[in-house]
Structure formats: structure tokens, C-alpha cells
Amino acid sequence: MKQRIITAIIGISIFIPFVIVGGRWFSYGVLILGAVALYEMAEMKKIDYLNEIGLISTLALSSVLLPEKYFAPIFSNADPLMIFYLAGMLLLILTVYNYQRFNFVDASTLIFASLYIGFGFRYLIMIRDLGLSTILYLLLVIWSTDTGAYLIGRKLGKHKLAPQISPNKTVEGALGGILTALIVTSIYGFFFTVKIQNPQCLGFLTILISISGQFGDLVESAYKRDFGVKDSGKLLPGHGGVLDRFDSTIFASIMFVVWNNFLGV
């Protein structure tokens, strides 16, 4: 527990300044996190990654993760979609000449992971561009959900939420996480402006984001179980890897953008 707390304090002290500054600093910082997350996915799948495979995969990830205004200064006027297709084709070509160590399933894993990680982190950047108070709202939903689910699940949890995937998670804990997020963000929303469609529906959006974040956690548990690993990586002692810390954030940020573009009209 002591190690987890120390790592959390160090991690937050590094991450929060980037959140506050925003802009390019935040975007390129998130890109680094995304690249580490993609490396973790490759490691879990036991893909030989620190070579041309990793270089091409990181290029694919960058084309998805970086919004155009942050992508253009690095890649000039290149079309991000075309770069993603090109990177995907190159990975498939490598399966022809490296089939003994890199096959179609490996290539497919990296291509899909570039989308899964890329869009989740891309939307996190887009939410930061809406304003500091808005991304802090998203982070508060995620953090308060995790805290509430842990505390209430530990005290009152009886009914398993997904016993085959994550035996320690309970229905009571999940509901407690949602309730905690509602209480925390209701107080936050009273003092700060959150830029969303239909601000009067902030509570409903909080519920959707809280549920999405918990599914993001369960999804990561599912593929870790499939890969036969306990943690996605070892970058954060006591916490695992980047994917372990941002699994909820990936799903939560996607839900936020879905609301702002499709559901909140």
C-alpha cells in the first residue's frame, strides 16, 4: 500500500502540470503515454516490438491519437488517415517476411490496439481543449468512481459483477462508484463550468461516464486474463502499467465525446 501511495503521488505530480498547461505539452505528453501503452499491449501478446514493428505501430498510433492541429507540425501536411492505412499495410507486409516471429494475429493486435488506445487518448486531448474545468470533471468522475467502488464494494459487496473476469468487483461496488461520482461532480458542477451539450444533464452524463469507465476496467481485465498476465506493465510500481491506470479513462473519454457529438443534442 505504501508503494502504491508513493507511486500515485509521483504520478499525479507529473501528470497534473501537463493537464494544467494543456495545448501541445499535454498532447505530446499523452502521445508518450499512448506509445508506452501500445508497447505494453505488444509485451502482453509477446510480440517482438523494439524494432521496425514498434516504429511502424507507433506511427499508426500517432496518426490516430493526435488531433490534426497537433499532428500537422510533426508530419507537415500528411493525411493522418492515409498514414494509418500505410502503417497497417506495412505491418501486414512484415507478416510475409517475418512470419516466424510476427504473424497476422500479431499485426491485427497492434492495428486494433492503435485504434483502441489512439482514440481514447485522442478524445482526452480534445476534452482538455474544451477547458481545464472540463477535463478535471472527467478525471473526477473516473477517480471518484474508482474510490467509491473500492470502499463500498469492500464494505457491502456481495454480488459479483463479472466473476470470471474480475472476481473482486461487485454490483454493490459498481453502484457505490456511480453514487460517489454523482455526489462529487454535483458539488464540482456547482462551482465550475463543464462544457457539455445540455449542461442540465450533467448528472446523467456522469452516470454514463462512470459506467463506461468501469467497463473499460473490466475490458482490460478480460484481455489481461486472455494474455495470462496480472498487470499490463511495470512502469508504475504498485499500480502496474499505463494501461492499468488509463483503462477507465479510455472508455470514459470516448463516452464524453459521444455525448457531446451525438447524444447531448
Q: Could you please report the per-residue DSSP string of 77-121?
A: T--HHHHHHHHHHHHHHHHHHSTTTS-HHHHHHHHHHHHHHHHHH
pLDDT in tens, 218-259: 999 999 998 888 878 776 665 578 898 899 999 999 999 999
- Residue 168, helix vs strand vs coil: strand
Q: For 28-53, what is the mean pLDDT?
A: 94
Taken in order 136, 139, 141, 144, the sign of the CA dihedral is negative
* Higher-confidence position of 233 and 169: 169
CB-hemisphere CA count at 13 Å for 101? 10
* pLDDT at residue 14, rounded to an integer: 80
- pTM score of the predicted model: 0.90
Highest-scoring range by mean pLDDT, 69-73, 74-78, 182-186, 257-261:
182-186
* pLDDT at residue 17, rounded to an integer: 86
Q: What percent of the chain has pLDDT over 90?
A: 65
Instruction: Measure the CA–CA gap between 120 and 114, rounded to whole angstroms.
Output: 10
> Considering the chain, what is the average pLDDT of its residues?
89
* Higher-confidence position of 180 and 97: 180
* pLDDT at residue 6, rounded to an integer: 63
pLDDT range class, residue 45, cuts 50, 70, 90: very high
Pick the closest to residue 134 from 39, 257, 3 (CA basis).
Answer: 257
Q: For 101-111, what is the mean pLDDT?
A: 94
Q: What percent of the chain has pLDDT over 70?
A: 94
Pick the closest to residue 149 from 119, 118, 124, 172 (CA basis).
Answer: 172
Q: Is the pLDDT of residue 3 over 90?
A: no
Distant-in-sequence, close-in-space partners of 64: CB < 8 Å, separation ≥ 6: 80, 84, 114, 115, 118, 119, 122
Q: Is the pLDDT of residue 201 over 60?
A: yes
The distance from CA 227 to its chain's CA centroid, rounded to whole angstroms, is 19
> 99 and 90 in contact (C-beta within 8 Å)?
no
Q: Is the pLDDT of residue 1 over 70?
A: no
pLDDT range class, residue 97, cuts 50, 70, 90: confident
The CA angle 72-36-151, to the nearest 5 degrees, is 120
pLDDT in tens, 111-168: 999 999 999 999 999 999 999 999 999 999 999 999 999 999 998 888 898 888 888 8
- Burial state string for 95-127 with b = 16 or more CB within 10 A and e = fewer than 16: beebeeebeeebbebbbebbbbbbbbbbbbbbb
